[in-house]
Amino acid sequence: MTLIRALLSVPLFCVLVAPQSKGQSTATVPPSVTSAPSTPPQTTSFGRITVPEISPGILEGYLEREALPDSVALVPQVPTPGTAAYALDEAVSRANLALRGSQRWDLATMDADLTFPQVTGSFSCAVGVPITEAETPHLYMLLRRSFTDAALSTSAAKNHYKRARPFVENKQSTCTPRQEDALMKDGSYPSGHTAIGWAWALILTEIVPSRTDAILARGRAFGDSRLVCNVHWQSDVNEGRVMGASTVARLHADAGFRGDLDAAKTEYAVAVAKGLKPSRDCAAEAAALAISPAVAAGAVVH
């Protein structure tokens, strides 16, 4: 596997650079989805499998650069002033400002943290078991590697459109104020966080089909958290889901991914048989999710 070997790093945020193939541009994991700790890259072992880290805390993905979906080709133009899509983006953004300080705001703040193992816990309640290196190592590895692929899938459009984020325009704070300087330099369209969350949701429904509704609902909420945090527009989130789904479609053509998916299915069955419980407070999470953010269907455009 030769994807993404060069690395540039800055405090708190790491920019991951994929090696260029002839005639291709460099792909980067957006700074907004790479908040790994500043430690030297290493390799991570899962049984007999050793996967290199391309940046501290970020594992090498499954897909070669040329196999990644092309976000510039797949997502439409950024909504422009005067269009219904632009008006909807602004209406949803304004409505979500009312949620700051709520339980839903607190959950969105947790969803913003993409460090491992914190981020995999976001889906623990939905699948009903812990997703950790200690308890479910193959599933944990599967999510860590697909994380990189989903994040990379958004970089071309982000770099092409360089869309400003809501907090830049409305001058209101976000749920991650320490990240705002880096977020200003990272294009808003499409949402990398959303691509990761939706890709994971689709993958997890294959592993735990009996919990499909709960998993997809959590995957949707993971993207909606970016609206609550005042860091993405509704159209950013919508197209992030497109890129997440496109990434999963490409992953299914990869034999390594399919093998790890099968291993994760077996591992999940063992975890259930052992009676392992989710790593999160599921009652608190459910209470937060019951506070619905303003999304496309609920926003009013004036």
Residue tagged active-site, from 144, 145, 163, 193: 193
Query: Within a 10 A sphere around the Cβ of 215, how many other Cβ atoms?
Result: 25
Does the annotation count 232 as an active-site position? yes
Contacts of residue 28, defined as CB under 8 A and 6 or more positions apart, other chains included, come to 15, 16, 17, 18, 152, 155, 159
Residue tagged active-site, from 104, 165, 232, 241: 232
Say if residues 91 and 299 touch (Cβ distance below 8 Å): yes
Does the annotation count 213 as an active-site position? no
Residue tagged active-site, from 186, 236, 254, 260: 236
| Per-residue buried b or exposed e for 123-139, using 16+ beta carbons within 10 Å of the residue's own CB | bbbbbbbbbbbebbbbb
| Per-residue buried b or exposed e for 221-234, using 16+ beta carbons within 10 Å of the residue's own CB | bbbbbbbbbbbbbb
H helix or E strand, kind and range, residue 167: helix 166-170
Give me the torsion for CA of 79, 81, 85, 86, rounded to 10°: 90
Does the annotation count 250 as an active-site position? no
Ordered DSSP codes for 231-280: S--HHHHHHHHHHHHHHHHHHTT-HHHHHHHHHHHHHHHHHHHTT---SS
Amino acid at 154: T
Does the annotation count 160 as an active-site position? no
Residue tagged active-site, from 145, 163, 226, 241: 226
Distance CA 205, CA 127 (A): 9
Residues assigned a catalytic role: 193, 226, 232, 236
